[in-house]
């Protein structure tokens, strides 16, 4: 199931979009543009990443994210967040990923981020057309009655996202997206800018999370 035609965000969300763009710009400015060396990441990917994310970043395992084509700034930030910094605990609590990044340097992470950014993302598929239609309404228009902004405001109508703060979502596994939204909702995941995703996810029901995740899986 493909979804190609972008629509305008409702006018009520213009101020939200302006804030989102400002936060994204600040994130890029603070973090800098990632310029890793994909060739130097090849051995690490083969030894460390391939089992869960595949050599080309198109994960065959629905609960693990596909990384192909992801913004390098975003991937680098997530890798850094899995690792304790300056005596502080990791911002993302995941035992598997903590082990994977334990011996990686910052340069290693930049190289890995650049490697996966250079891989071509395979198109995803929405398996439940009715559920995806429900998700499309949320993704493109939000839920005004709950104060939920359109996902497209930050992640773009085509799911391309914005570097550093807002990841590419198009074609992402529905299971992984739903899992992350639920993690934001419960506070298990807290590394979102200005608590934006936690605020959004807290207002979504399980059905709404399933619907928007299904739509994203088929978004191109």
Q: How far apart are CA 151 and CA 1, in angstroms?
A: 19
Residue 72 pLDDT class (50, 70, 90 cuts): very high
The average pLDDT across 11-35 equals 55
Task: Give the pLDDT of residue 148.
Answer: 97
Predicted structure pTM score = 0.87
Residue the block writes with tokens 């850094």: 80
| pLDDT score of 64 more than 60 | yes
In order of start, what are the domains of the chain with their CATH numbers? 11-27+123-217 (1.10.760.10), 31-117 (1.10.760.10)
Based on the number of CB atoms within 10 Å of its own CB, is 26 exposed (0-12), middle (13-18) or buried (19 or more)? middle
Q: What is the pLDDT of residues 165-210, one digit of tens each?
A: 799 999 999 999 999 999 999 999 999 988 999 999 999 999 999 9
Q: What is the pLDDT of residues 116-156, one digit of tens each?
A: 999 999 999 999 999 999 999 999 999 999 999 999 999 99
At residue 134, what are phi and psi to the nearest 5 degrees?
-65, -40
Q: What is the pLDDT of residues 79-114, one digit of tens each?
A: 999 999 999 999 999 999 999 999 999 999 999 999
168, 159 Cβ separation under 8 angstroms: yes
Residue the block writes with tokens 């804030």: 19
Q: Which residue in 39, 176, 94 sits closest to 168, CA to CA?
A: 176
């Amino acid at each position: 199931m493909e979804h190609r035609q972008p629509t305008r965000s409702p006018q009520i969300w213009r101020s939200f979009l302006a804030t989102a763009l400002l936060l994204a710009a600040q994130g890029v400015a603070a973090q800098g543009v990632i310029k890793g060396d994909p060739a130097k990441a090849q051995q690490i990917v083969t030894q460390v990443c391939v089992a869960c994310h595949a050599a080309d970043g198109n994960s065959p395992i629905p609960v693990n994210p596909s990384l192909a084509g992801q913004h390098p700034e975003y991937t680098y930030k997530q890798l850094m967040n899995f690792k304790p910094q300056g005596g502080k605990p990791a911002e993302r609590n995941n035992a598997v990923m903590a082990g994977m990044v334990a011996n990686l340097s910052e340069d290693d992470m930049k190289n890995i981020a650049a490697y996966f950014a250079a891989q071509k993302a395979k198109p995803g598929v929405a398996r439940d057309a009715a559920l995806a239609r429900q998700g499309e309404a949320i993704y493109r228009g939000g839920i005004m009655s709950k104060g939920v902004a359109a996902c497209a405001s930050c992640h773009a109508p085509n799911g391309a996202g914005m570097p550093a703060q807002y990841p590419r979502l198009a074609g992402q596994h529905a299971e992984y997206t739903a899992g992350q939204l639920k993690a934001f909702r419960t506070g298990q995941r807290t590394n979102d800018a200005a608590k934006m995703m936690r605020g959004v996810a807290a207002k979504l029901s399980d059905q709404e999370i399933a619907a928007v995740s299904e739509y994203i899986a088929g978004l191109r």
